[in-house]
């Protein structure tokens, strides 16, 4: 609660800095986008406008503006607007399969990313990740990961090593885990 109050003291939604307007957002572990200062973060308060979400994800990058970089490490630029972003885990959350399991849907947008079974990786936190179009990797939503769980073969340490998909065994590279947990 204290951290939330601290963040709110640093900004005002829609504030102007010169001619630039600034907004502040939050993405949860289910890939839903919210105004950062909204009290209730649930399905009813999440952004659902597909065009906005598509543009938001298309413009997403690391925040190197010199403003709010620690609290909001990502930004989505839109003309004279800066949309600062923080997230529960990763800014890219894959929420469902599309195109007969060949692509992954990004958040609640209609943007997709090619599914590569070998790039799936589980970290120490127990969450499942897949390489992403932005950053090194994106989070696979828990509901989706739960459905995939029976398709994995695990090693003696509890990490997945193989994945059975579309009748084929895929050996996981676990590149994400190696990069993150070095």
Residue 53: domain span: 15-87
Give the mean pLDDT of 129-146: 95
DSSP-assigned letter for residue 116: -
pLDDT at 3 over 60: no
* Within-domain flag for 9: no
* Within-domain flag for 1: no
Same domain, 100 and 165: yes
Same domain, 55 and 99: no
Same domain, 159 and 129: yes
Same domain, 36 and 56: yes
- What ranges in 33-132 are assigned the alpha helix state H? 50-58
Same domain, 77 and 138: no
Boundary residue ending a domain (87, 115, 131): 87
Number of domains in the chain: 2
29, two tokens:
């572990």
pLDDT at 101 over 50: yes
* Within-domain flag for 3: no
* Within-domain flag for 81: yes
From CA 150, how far away is CA 28, in angstroms rounded?
25
* Within-domain flag for 140: yes
Same domain, 176 and 97: yes
Q: What pLDDT does residue 8 have? A: 58
From CA 81, how far away is CA 83, in angstroms rounded?
6
Boundary residue ending a domain (71, 87, 103): 87
Same domain, 80 and 33: yes
* Within-domain flag for 118: yes
Boundary residue ending a domain (68, 87, 106): 87
Same domain, 133 and 162: yes
Same domain, 97 and 69: no
Same domain, 114 and 134: yes
Taking phi first (over 0 means left), then psi (-120 to 50 degrees means alpha), and beta for anything else, what does residue 77 get?
A: beta
Tens digit of each residue's pLDDT (9 = 90 or more) over 58-80: 999 999 999 999 999 999 999 99
- pTM for the whole thing? 0.91
Q: What pLDDT does residue 116 have? A: 98
Same domain, 106 and 82: no
Q: What pLDDT does residue 2 have? A: 46
From CA 47, how far away is CA 157, in angstroms rounded?
39
């Amino acid at each position: 609660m204290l951290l939330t109050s601290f963040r709110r003291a640093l900004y005002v939604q829609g504030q102007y800095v010169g001619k630039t307007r600034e907004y502040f957002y939050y993405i949860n572990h289910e890939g839903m986008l919210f105004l950062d200062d909204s009290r209730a973060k649930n399905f009813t308060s999440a952004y659902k406008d597909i065009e906005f979400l598509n543009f938001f994800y298309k413009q997403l990058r690391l925040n190197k503006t010199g403003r709010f970089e620690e609290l909001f490490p990502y930004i989505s630029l839109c003309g004279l607007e800066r949309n600062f972003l923080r997230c529960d885990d990763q800014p890219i959350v894959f929420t469902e399969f599309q195109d007969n399991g060949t692509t992954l849907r990004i958040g609640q947008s209609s943007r997709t990313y090619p599914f590569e079974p070998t790039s799936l990786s589980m970290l120490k936190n127990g969450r499942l990740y897949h390489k992403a179009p932005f950053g090194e990797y994106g989070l696979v939503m828990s509901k989706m990961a739960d459905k995939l769980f029976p398709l994995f073969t695990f090693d003696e340490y509890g990490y997945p090593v193989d994945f059975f998909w579309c009748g084929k065994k895929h050996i996981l590279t676990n590149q994400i885990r190696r990069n993150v947990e070095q």
